Amino acid sequence: MLNKTKNNNMKPSENLLKSLLKENRLNGFSEHEIGDDHLYTGLETPLRSDAFDLSDTEKKAQISYLFGEIMKVMGLDLNDDSLKGTPNRVAKMYIDEIFSGLNPENKPKIALFDNKYRYNQMLVEKNITFYSNCEHHFVPIIGKAHIAYISSGKVIGLSKINRIVQYYAKRPQVQERLTNQIANELKEILETEDIAVIIDAKHLCVSSRGIEDDTSATVTCYYGGAFNTPSKIVELQNYLKS
Ligand SMILES: [Zn+2]
């Protein structure tokens, strides 16, 4: 249990410091190099088994304290009027806003309707703007998601597609996982394999630092079931262009 009061209990020991500073290598590459190449390890967001033992209030208190420590280590004066509220603001922003999608309690409740119109072609919801954060650098990923599905008998409210995108975006993410998590959720809810997800995003860890390329974007896609055919992909691409 971390100590929330401002004393020195949080100070890492000499040995811990040494092990923290030791560089781990994977396949001959440093963590720094791998971070820039955005390693993707699986569909599930890697969460600890005790991820939800603490309440949101307790998490905010700890993050506020620890973020204040980071600021102090960097030499910032937390007595300054402009800076003193920052640790609390960051803690609140992490838990209530930009990382709120880590907590399954925040998953949107989805109501489905019968496909009374008997509409049996693809439905495309395009240009869904989202803001996420890269889990390797904790800086923003800004992008658009395009979602398509063919009803197997149920239809979903259009704004709910948007909410599913936002829920999975509000986590530390890699774009490949975000794409597959959204596709998986929609497959489960809509009880069909006929789902397509295309994500076109800018990673600030690529544009604002590192290689500093401001023009490149990353596109990932998932074509399931009926969408995994050249003709459906062309059809979908045409709707996205229009
Ligand atoms: Zn990154």
pLDDT at 9 over 70: no
> What pLDDT shows up at residue 57?
98
Q: How confident is the model at residue 18 (pLDDT cuts 50, 70, 90)?
A: confident
> What pLDDT shows up at residue 4?
46
Residue 184 contacts by C-beta under 8 Å, 6 or more apart in sequence?
43
pLDDT tens sequence across 188-239: 999 999 999 999 999 999 988 888 888 999 999 999 999 999 999 999 999 9
How close is the Cα of 202 to the center of ligand 1, in Å?
10
pLDDT at 25 over 80: no
How close is the Cα of 68 to the center of ligand 1, in Å?
23
- Letter for the amino acid at 143? G
Residue 39's closest CA among 147, 146, 137?
137
pLDDT tens sequence across 136-149: 999 999 999 999 99
User: Which residues participate in catalysis according to the annotation?
Assistant: 134-137, 175, 203, 205
Angstrom CA distances, 19 to 8, 22, 24, stand at 20, 5, 10
Q: Please state the rounded mean pLDDT for residues 114-142.
A: 95
Q: In angstroms, how far is the first alpha carbon of the chain from the final one?
A: 55
How close is the Cα of 172 to the center of ligand 1, in Å?
10
Instruction: Classify strands 172-173 and 123-134 as parallel, antiparallel or unpaired.
Output: parallel
